[in-house]
């Protein structure tokens, strides 16, 4: 597999796939003994899969158009098969990633063996980088297929077929946007990370290619509350956790929200115990 993630790291200085590992190693050097690692529920990944399923639907519509309206081998066989192969990559890449994410990110628990956490992090990151690289590869394959279809219609078919070119461009732009959107949100799912240690909470926030790190001192946390934002979240036992903070200026307060957390009530009890 082509290591597209390394190319991204060379281009974007704000992107860091190892920020979680670096934080854990820092905690090891500081000889912190108790850890509570929190990540979003795998159900968030299932919600994100709806985006990629819609993209796959658009690609299959493209395949059907080429198979139905053209007769040459290249147009009726090669191009539709190309769209189907890209759809195949996207489907199994997405749901294979969600399956392994579910296995490695269960209900948060308080841990004391930081080496075990670091080792688990390596396996998790390897799974994510595989997903990321296949997603980028699928986008590139789609780009080449689009270029081929434009060239094919322009040089080998009459102007009567150019309505197909307009439909193709619209469908492919929409599919490309959805694939990139899914990859961006999946980066948020995997790289967002909250680590609770005695006296402090570390929050790693990944928004697409941009990342940030916050450190909250326990004495600045005034209240921690859980909430189920919808009936659907209540049925599947995930909700949001809110940190109500207070700064140095009187009446200066702000809120940090951790969303899609499995068993938020139990997680808050573990946060309080760890702090």
Residue 251 has pLDDT above 60, yes or no: no
Please give the residue that has the higher pLDDT: either 54 or 105. Answer: 54
- Bigger pLDDT: 61 or 205? 61
Please determine, for residue 166, whether its predicted confidence score (pLDDT) is greater than 90. no
Q: What is the pLDDT, as a whole number, of residue 249?
A: 46
Q: What is the pLDDT of residue 250?
A: 46
What's the pTM? 0.84
Q: Compute the 3-state secondary structure of the chain and give helix, strand, coil in percent, each to the nearest 5.
A: 65, 20, 15
Give residue 263's pLDDT band: very low, low, confident or very high (50, 70, 90).
confident
Give the confidence band of 194 by pLDDT, cuts at 50, 70, 90. Answer: confident
Distance from the Cα of residue 41 to its chain's centroid: 12
Q: Which residues contact 61 (CB under 8 A, 6 or more apart)?
A: 171
How confident is the model at residue 209, as a pLDDT?
A: 74
> Would you state the pLDDT for residue 253?
55
Alpha helices in 192-238 (DSSP H): 231-235
Q: What does pLDDT average to over the chain?
A: 83
């Amino acid at each position: 597999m082509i290591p597209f993630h390394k190319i991204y790291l060379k281009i974007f200085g704000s992107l860091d796939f190892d920020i979680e590992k670096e934080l854990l190693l820092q905690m090891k050097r500081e000889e912190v003994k108790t850890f509570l690692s929190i990540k979003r529920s795998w159900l968030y990944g299932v919600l994100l899969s709806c985006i990629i399923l819609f993209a796959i639907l658009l690609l299959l519509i493209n395949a059907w158009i080429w198979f139905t309206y053209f007769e040459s081998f290249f147009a009726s066989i090669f191009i539709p098969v190309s769209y189907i192969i890209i759809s195949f990559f996207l489907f199994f890449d997405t749901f294979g990633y969600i399956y392994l994410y579910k296995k490695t990110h269960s209900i948060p628990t308080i841990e004391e063996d930081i080496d075990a956490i670091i080792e688990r992090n390596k396996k998790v990151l390897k799974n994510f980088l595989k997903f990321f690289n296949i997603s980028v590869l699928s986008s590139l394959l789609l780009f080449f297929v689009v270029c081929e279809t434009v060239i094919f219609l322009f040089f080998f078919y009459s102007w009567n077929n150019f309505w197909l070119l307009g439909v193709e461009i619209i469908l492919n732009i929409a599919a490309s946007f959805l694939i990139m959107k899914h990859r961006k949100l999946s980066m948020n799912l995997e790289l967002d990370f909250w680590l609770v240690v005695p006296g402090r909470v570390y929050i790693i926030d990944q928004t697409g290619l941009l990342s940030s790190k916050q450190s909250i001192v326990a004495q600045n946390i005034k209240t921690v509350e859980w909430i189920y934002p919808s009936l659907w979240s209540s049925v599947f036992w995930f909700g949001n956790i809110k940190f109500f903070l207070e700064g140095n200026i009187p009446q200066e307060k702000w809120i940090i929200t951790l969303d899609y957390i499995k068993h938020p009530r139990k997680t808050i009890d573990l946060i309080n115990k760890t702090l």
